[in-house]
Amino acid sequence: MSKVIVLTGASAGIGAVLAKQLAARGDALMLAARSADKLRLVARSCGREAYFFSTDVTRRQDVNRLRDEALRTFEHVDVWINNAGRGISRPVLDLTDEDFDEMMAVNVKSALYGAQAILPHFKERGEGHLINVSSFLGRVPLVTFRSAYNAAKSALNALTANLRMDLRAGYPNIHVSLVMPGAVSTEFAGNVLHGVPGTRAAGSNVQTPEEVAAAIVDLIDHPSAEIYTNPDTQLEQVKRYYADVAAFEDALGQLGDKP
């Protein structure tokens, strides 16, 4: 059965690919990002049931207007995906107030605004699915120059878990999910604050946006608390990291900080 889905960060990268995959299977979409021109192109490629609404997700009033526009257009929402995000290339000791505030606003507060906007509607219906797209770096912060990005995604992970626990008893048909991609071959790295640092080895663990989007589509069909989009690699690193953080960091340092 087709669903009505609101998707932020839909103008490029994982979001744009996900929009096309969802449209291809018949879902109705409300796409959001800051760039109306890019959104228009993505919506056009998705067909007649894809609409767009220019939104700055760091502004609560914009997110509330996005919700209102979706409800005016479709009368209900089944799935809300907080996918907007931005990275940074700056180590901890070089971070400015502006750096940290930007990372928290784009990666955490935007998702908080989305959750607080749509959850009253989900509660009224007694069902719904909120999906927060985080990062593997929020679980294992192994790339030091991502610093405040890692911290922001870690905060997002915690908020998502707390929300899920708060809703569990009273609203069993409202699902709250966390998605943790690892390295993905998109333009994300080129859009980070302070540019791109020294070249990192791509390796064989880099996923395509199509692979990550397909994992999110499957999550919509089979809700669960958390998913790693590249579990074969990511779960092994999680086990190593939490078994002995110091040993993990030592081993990573010997590799030149390349996981």
CA geometry: angle at 143 spanning 138 and 147, to 5°?
A: 65
Quote the CA–CA distance of 176 and 168 in Å, as a whole number: 9
Q: Running DSSP on this structure, what letter comes out for residue 193? A: B
Q: Running DSSP on this structure, what letter comes out for residue 201? A: -
Which residue in 172, 129, 118 sits closest to 3, CA to CA? 129
**What is the residue whose two structure tokens read 């800051």?**
34
Q: Are 63 and 114 in contact (CB under 8 A)?
A: yes
Q: Which of 51, 113, 149, 228 is catalytic?
A: 149
Which residue in 94, 192, 176 sits closest to 137, CA to CA? 192
Instruction: Return the amino acid letter for 112.
Output: L
Instruction: Decide: helix, strand or coil at residue 116.
Output: helix
Instruction: Decide: helix, strand or coil at residue 160.
Output: helix
User: Is beta strand 226-228 parallel, antiparallel or unpaired with respect to 128-133?
Assistant: unpaired
Maximum C-alpha span of the chain: 55
Instruction: Decide: helix, strand or coil at residue 235.
Output: helix
51 is catalytic: no
Quote the CA–CA distance of 47 and 14 in Å, as a whole number: 18
User: How far is CA 185 from its chain centroid?
Assistant: 15
Which residues belong to the active site?
149
